[in-house]
């Protein structure tokens, strides 16, 4: 099991190609290959997990699976910060079945292609997330490292996004005048 306080921001980028160029210029290189992630968010029928400001997620990515609990986020501030408990699991389908038997149900599914980028000696990481609603850089580390890295990539604090992919998807659907459902790919992005 891995437990820590996750601190992060998202930055919107025009394309994966543009993001890769920014990362290369800033001295980052891929340290984990591009994989598709399939995420299932679970909650009780009366949404008690969401009402607490928490998240319960089962993720499969590149042949690996994890069960994650994210605690309520810190209020205010320019970074998103919250407790994260995570454990590797060998069988995502069985864990989902167990959780459903305990009263949890899938409430949202989302997918993204993720490539992880690192710098030698850095104490943070940048992930390139290609989602059905666009591309984002997720910058994770200490607040100081996040701010320094965002500036190095050409962004300012006004560009910081602390919303979840679920919230960004709902905003996207409202802007498109479409009904929100699951945020999944209809076809593979390049």
Residue 185 lies in a domain: no
What is d(CA 133, CA 142) in angstroms, rounded to the nearest whole number? 27
Per the structure, the complete domain to which residue 98 belongs is given by 2-176
Residue 186 lies in a domain: no
CATH code, 116: 2.40.320.10
Mean pLDDT of the chain: 94
pLDDT in tens, 119-136: 988 889 999 999 999 999
pLDDT for residue 74: 73
Residue 105 lies in a domain: yes
Cα separations in angstroms, 50 against 1, 128, 153, 166, 169: 23, 26, 33, 12, 16
Residue 96 lies in a domain: yes
Residue 109 lies in a domain: yes
User: The pTM is what?
Assistant: 0.92
Q: What is the average pLDDT across 169-179?
A: 95
Residue 125 lies in a domain: yes
Tally the domains of the chain: 1
Residue 80 lies in a domain: yes
Residue 8 lies in a domain: yes
Out of 11-20, 67-76, 149-158, 167-176, pick the least confident: 67-76
């Amino acid at each position: 099991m891995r437990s820590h306080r996750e601190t992060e921001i998202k930055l919107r980028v025009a394309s994966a190609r543009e993001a890769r160029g920014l990362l290369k210029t800033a001295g980052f290189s891929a340290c984990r290959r591009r994989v598709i992630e399939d995420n299932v968010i679970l909650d009780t029928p009366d949404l008690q997990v969401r009402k607490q400001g928490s998240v319960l997620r089962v993720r499969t990515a590149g042949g690996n699976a994890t069960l994650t609990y994210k605690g309520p986020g810190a209020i205010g501030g320019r970074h998103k910060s919250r407790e994260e408990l995570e454990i590797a699991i060998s069988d995502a389908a069985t864990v989902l079945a167990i959780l459903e038997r305990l009263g949890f149900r899938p409430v949202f599914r989302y997918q993204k292609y993720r490539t992880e980028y690192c710098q030698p000696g850095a104490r943070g990481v940048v992930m390139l997330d290609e989602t059905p609603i666009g591309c984002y850089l997720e910058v994770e580390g200490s607040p100081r490292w996040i701010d320094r890295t965002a500036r190095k990539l050409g962004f300012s604090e006004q560009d910081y996004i602390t919303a979840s992919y679920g919230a960004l998807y709902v905003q996207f659907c409202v802007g498109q005048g479409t009904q929100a459902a699951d945020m999944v790919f209809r076809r593979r992005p390049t």
